Amino acid sequence: MRQPQPRGPLGEDLLAALREAPGAPAAESRAAALPDAARAAVSRADGVLADDDVQLSLFLLHALHYQGIDGVDDRWESDPELLRTRGILSDALETQLRAELPADTVPGTPQSVADALFAMAADDDGPSLARHLSGRADAVQAREFLQLKSAYQLMEGDPHTWGIPRLAGRAKAGLIEIQIDEYGGGNAARMHAALFAAGMREAGLDDAYGSAVDRVPAEWLAGVNTVSMFGLHRRLRGAVVGHLAMYEMTSSVPSKFLARGFHRLGLPAAAAFYDEHVEADAAHEQIAARDMAGGLVVEDPAVAADVFFGARCVLHLDALAARQALARWEAGESALRPAPAEFSRSAAAELVR
């Protein structure tokens, strides 16, 4: 993806390092300073979930493991100092999420796990962006919604796919069955990310991977960073399974509202993306809850609590992002960040103050 503008001192230092050639003296010096810069950014933040500098920097560090960043040498992906920096930011993110989300009593059979997850979904009372888009949103808000969602949807499936080699048995088979549909059954034009990109083009938006990241607030990046964190850590394999299970279980009904809203606004390609999810996710939810999540709890009881942690993260972070957008729209404002101006160290200092 294109390099975004930094949002604070950590992002500025990180991008300065990434523009260097790995192994060059200047690159090594810049990279060696990044862990301390990450600790300073976490220390400055009043909670990392809504901190723009932390979330954008972590998003960039994760991007090295996906489709990369324009102008950045791929060898940075395995640089020890960058991995250490990513770990500091990920630890802060995980620590805050675990502090904010209750621990669950873990049932022990595939059906009881599925029942507990469905009960969790039914008890969710978070704000509904889907209902707003269905009946109240105007064309401007619909376009903003597509940009906000694009940070995840243009790579839909990829974070969860990291879980496949970390699983075995029934859980692995269930995850693969779901992911086959995410990738269009092998048809590139039917991949869910490609369908979402078509909706963006229809709305007159740039559909390139990562194209809207500069405009996406921290609350939305936090959701993407959380599932990337789960997928990239074997110890969090339970969380990536729980995340995907809840994502599938809470997608079908909202997708119906979203499709209705995009049809109402004359955006049939965007509506088609959500129509696809009405059908696909309704079929997936039982596989995800019983076979994948339930199968994992039975086969690997040590990660059972993390299955429910990952599921709760979906609901918690979706609500955080929805509140951000709805509050801005209700105030008559854009839910997007302003288009970025050239960033400078003096601007970073002003942000810190």
Residue 261 to residue 254: CA distance in whole angstroms: 11
User: Which pLDDT value is given to residue 353?
Assistant: 38
Q: Which helix (H) or strand (E) holds 324?
A: helix 304-330
Lowest-confidence region among 80-94, 96-110, 330-344: 330-344
pLDDT > 90: percent of the chain: 87
SS3 5: coil
Output the DSSP codes for 12-24: HHHHHHHTSPTTS
pLDDT at 329: 98
- The residue type found at 13 is D
Instruction: Provide Rg for the chain, Cα atoms.
Output: 20
User: What pLDDT is recorded for position 284?
Assistant: 86
pLDDT band at 348; cut points 50, 70, 90: very low
Q: What is the pLDDT of residue 24?
A: 93
| pLDDT value of position 292 | 96
* Closest-CA residue to 178 (of 194, 159, 195): 159
Q: Find the distance separating the first CA and the last CA of the chain, reported in whole Å.
A: 31
Amino acid, res. 47: G
User: So what's the pLDDT on residue 90?
Assistant: 98
Q: Which are the contacts of 266, defined by CB distance < 8 A and separation ≥ 6?
A: none
Write down the pLDDT at residue 295: 95
pLDDT tens digits, one per residue of 109-118: 899 999 999 9
Place of tokens 């790995």: 22
In which band, very low, low, confident or very high, does the pLDDT at 297 lie, cut at 50, 70 and 90?
very high
Per-residue pLDDT band at 125 (split at 50, 70, 90):
confident
pLDDT at 346: 45
Pick the closest to residue 169 from 299, 11, 318 (CA basis). Answer: 299
How high is the mean pLDDT of the chain? 93
**CA–CA dist 149, 220 (Å, integer):** 8
Task: Select from 157, 154, 163 the least CA-distant residue to 193.
Answer: 154
For 90-111, what is the mean pLDDT? 91
**Helix/strand/coil for 137:** coil
Average pLDDT, stretch 13-22?
97
Rounded CA-CA distance 199/203 in Å is: 6
All CATH 1.20.910.10 domain ranges in the chain, comma separated:
110-330
Three-state secondary structure call for residue 208 = coil
CATH topology of domain 110-330: Heme Oxygenase; Chain A (1.20.910)
| Residue 341 pLDDT > 90 | no
What average pLDDT does range 189-195 have in this prediction?
96
Residue 84: is its pLDDT beyond 90? yes
Which pLDDT score is estimated for 116?
94
Digit-coded pLDDT (tens) for 200-237: 999 999 999 999 999 999 999 999 999 999 999 999 99
Q: Mean pLDDT over residues 154-162, rounded?
A: 95
Q: Look at residue 103 in the predicted model and tell me its pLDDT.
A: 85
Residue 250 has pLDDT above 50, yes or no: yes
- Residue 352 pLDDT greater than 60, yes or no: no
> How confident is residue 281, by pLDDT bands cut at 50, 70 and 90?
low
Residue 67 predicted with pLDDT over 90: yes
What does the pLDDT average to over 262-268?
Answer: 97
- Nearest-angstrom CA–CA distance, 324 and 331: 11
State both tokens at 40: 């300073």
| pLDDT over 90 at 107, yes or no | no
250-274 mean pLDDT: 95
